Amino acid sequence: MKGEDASAAERDGQLIAGIAAGDRRAFRTFFDVYGPRIFRYAVRTMGDAGKAEEVTNDVMLEVWKNASRFEQRSSVSTWVIGIARHKSLNAIRGKQLVTVDIADVAEQITDDGAAAESGEAELDQAEMRLMLRAAVAKLSPEHRDVVELTFFHGHSYEEIAEIVGCPENTVKTRMFHAKRQLKALLGERAARAFNIGAVA
């Protein structure tokens, strides 16, 4: 990750070297660092915790088997998320992605006592975040990928281009369309809530 400091890169390098040598402790530490990120990526891509756990284990098994061949041309996080993406997409190939209906979330929020009390125009930030997550889940897989890899995993656009296998400009274009779709999905309420965000 571009924002990653040198010590994280050094730690990752040492862990990979340890795993390549069959060190189980290094593998455990690596799993502690990357397991939650891989799982979160997989669960948000596939919408199925069981499958996400399988993908996480598959990715880690791949790391165990291929650590000695990792050539450090990319960062470790780019490498593992790239494997996770490939395995997640294979797992859901031909299947309908699980998406959250934004209307259901909005209705749920309106039904909520606190929200009803404060009025529709005054969605608080926690509610807005809930709606945003639902809206992200509604995005097309390509757009959601770019949003998740940017905001959840903290990857730079260059790294995302590498993970996804497309030009850097395509990553920027996908982000542009993702933002437009999010605004369209959230509509009027979002515009007001974003202004609440501006105050915070």
User: According to the binding rule CB under 8 A, does residue 95 interact with another protein?
Assistant: no
Q: Within positions 23 to 42, which residues make up the interface with another protein, using CB under 8 A?
A: 24, 27-28, 31-32, 35-36, 39-40
Q: Which stretch binds another protein (CB under 8 A): 9-17, 89-97, 110-118, 132-140?
A: 132-140
Q: Write the burial class of residue 85 (CB in 10 Å: 0-12 exposed, 13-18 middle, 19+ buried).
A: buried
Q: Distance (Å, rounded) from C-alpha 36 to C-alpha 47?
A: 15
Radius of gyration of the chain (CA): 19
Q: Distance (Å, rounded) from C-alpha 30 to C-alpha 106?
A: 39
Query: 52 to each of 45, 48, 163, how far by Cα in Å?
Result: 9, 6, 18
Residue 119: CB minimum distance to another protein, A: 19
User: Which residues are at the interface with another protein (CB under 8 A)?
Assistant: 1-3, 24, 27-28, 31-32, 35-36, 39-40, 43-44, 49, 52-53, 56-57, 60-61, 64, 125, 128-130, 132-133, 136, 147-148, 150-152, 154-157, 159, 172, 175-176, 179, 182, 193-194, 197-198
